[in-house]
């Protein structure tokens, strides 16, 4: 049963949906409602099993609640996972069916682009429902800016106030966000190592920012100041954590910890970890600006706040002898009890 799933956290609503005409198969998880609403990206990818897909939806929606809370945005967390290979299944008819599904919640759930989806897809979905963001442009730019600010704060925590110049950062995944992050890191003189499952993409970004290229299976073992996971989640587990050589971990990939105990494992190894629901909050902040929840001033203030929140969490963790993940979850879960200030 879903209620027995290890990732179930008293979610307010979980919906399984299948459209036989388009073969659209999805799970929508709504973790919390704030002001009667929740939001989260629409992810389109293959899963080993429906249980894995359900776990992803449950875990990601909970992370979205925490992300909105710490970003001071009036929204609960939700998530949609579309099950299947997007290159084989994605077409306008399926996207419109997806839009009709989103529309059926009448604004209780707001969607946006995630893995396997883009702004063009949101435009097709937007033909059927107004309850999607990310149509005008993708959110990779604000996500990269927010991640960059979190990395700056992590460097501040490690080395004291100052620039990232000369500090080394290993970026795992150079898609839209990872590439933009590398450009920002290059601008302040950081030394960059990149890796990607697409060797052509890795080579292109490395050439653009004068970065070293590491093999995909070695990037997590790079001897660098900061490791920035910017691909898929679940990469920090008992095996990989034991091999880490980075002094800290701070990246934008969702759900980087394979299990709840992996945050403690990082702490026991003395490796500060910035929870992804802090580092990647720039995307939802950009989405909130697009749909009119905040204005430009609020947008910029919230992006800047990522630096402050990161440093606050890392300092509290050190002072209290807890993992940063424990501190951040406590702060977020406390903040999500009542609607945040706009």
d(CA 43, CA 112): 9
Q: Tell me how far apart the alpha carbons of residues 54 and 15 are, in angstroms, rounded to a whole number.
A: 10
Task: Measure the CA dihedral 7/306/202/256, to 10°.
Answer: -20
97: part of which helix (H) or strand (E)? helix 92-103
> Cα separation of 47 and 54, whole Å?
10
Task: Kindly report the backbone phi and psi dihedral angles of residue 212, in degrees, each rounded to the nearest multiple of 5, phi listed first.
Answer: -85, 145
Residues with a known catalytic role: 79
d(CA 106, CA 124): 18
With residues binned 3-state (H G I as helix, E B as strand, rest as coil), the percentages for the chain, rounded to 5, are: 45, 15, 35
**In this structure, are residues 42 and 97 in contact, taking their beta carbons and an 8 Å threshold?**
no
Q: Which helix (H) or strand (E) holds 248?
A: strand 248-249
Q: In which element (H, E) is residue 94 found?
A: helix 92-103
Other Cβ atoms within 10 Å of 307 Cβ, number: 18
Q: What are all long-range contacts of 51-56, with beta carbons under 8 Å and residues at least 24 apart?
A: 51/5, 53/27, 53/81, 53/83, 54/2, 54/5, 54/7, 54/14, 54/27, 54/29, 55/5, 55/6, 55/7, 56/81, 56/255
Answer for the pair 2, 53: CB distance below 8 angstroms, yes or no.
no
Tokens of 240: 């990989």
Residue 22 near residue 93, CB atoms below 8 Å: yes
């Amino acid at each position: 049963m879903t209620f027995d799933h290890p990732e179930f956290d008293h979610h307010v609503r979980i919906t399984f949906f299948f459209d036989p005409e388009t073969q659209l198969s999805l799970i929508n998880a709504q973790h919390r409602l704030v002001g009667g609403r929740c939001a989260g990206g629409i992810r389109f990818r293959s899963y080993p099993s429906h249980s894995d897909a359900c776990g992803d939806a449950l875990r990601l929606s909970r992370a979205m609640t925490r992300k909105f809370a710490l970003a001071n945005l009036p929204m609960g967390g939700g998530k949609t996972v579309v099950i299947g290979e997007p290159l084989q299944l994605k077409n306008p008819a399926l996207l419109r069916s997806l839009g009709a599904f989103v529309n059926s919640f009448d604004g209780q759930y707001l969607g946006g682009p995630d893995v396997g989806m883009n702004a063009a897809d949101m435009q097709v979905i937007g033909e059927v429902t107004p309850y999607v963001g990310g149509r005008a442009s993708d959110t990779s730019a604000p996500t990269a800016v927010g991640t960059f600010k979190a990395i700056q704060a992590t460097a501040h925590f490690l080395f004291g106030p100052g620039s990232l110049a000369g500090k080394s950062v290993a970026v795992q995944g150079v898609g839209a966000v990872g590439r933009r992050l590398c450009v920002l890191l290059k601008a302040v003189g950081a030394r960059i190592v990149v890796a990607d499952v697409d060797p052509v993409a890795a080579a292109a970004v490395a050439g653009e920012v004068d970065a070293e290229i590491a093999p995909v299976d070695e990037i997590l073992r790079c001897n660098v100041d900061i490791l920035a996971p910017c691909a898929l989640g679940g990469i920090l587990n008992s095996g990989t954590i034991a091999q880490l050589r980075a002094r800290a971990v701070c990246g934008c990939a969702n759900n980087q910890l394979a299990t709840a105990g992996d945050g403690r494992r990082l702490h026991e190894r003395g490796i500060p970890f910035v929870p992804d629901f802090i580092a990647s909050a720039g995307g939802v902040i950009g989405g909130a600006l697009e749909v009119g929840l905040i204005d430009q001033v609020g947008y910029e203030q919230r992006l800047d706040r990522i630096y402050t929140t990161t440093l606050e969490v890392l300092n509290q963790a050190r002072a209290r002898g807890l993992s940063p993940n424990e501190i951040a979850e406590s702060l977020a879960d406390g903040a999500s009890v009542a609607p945040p200030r706009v």
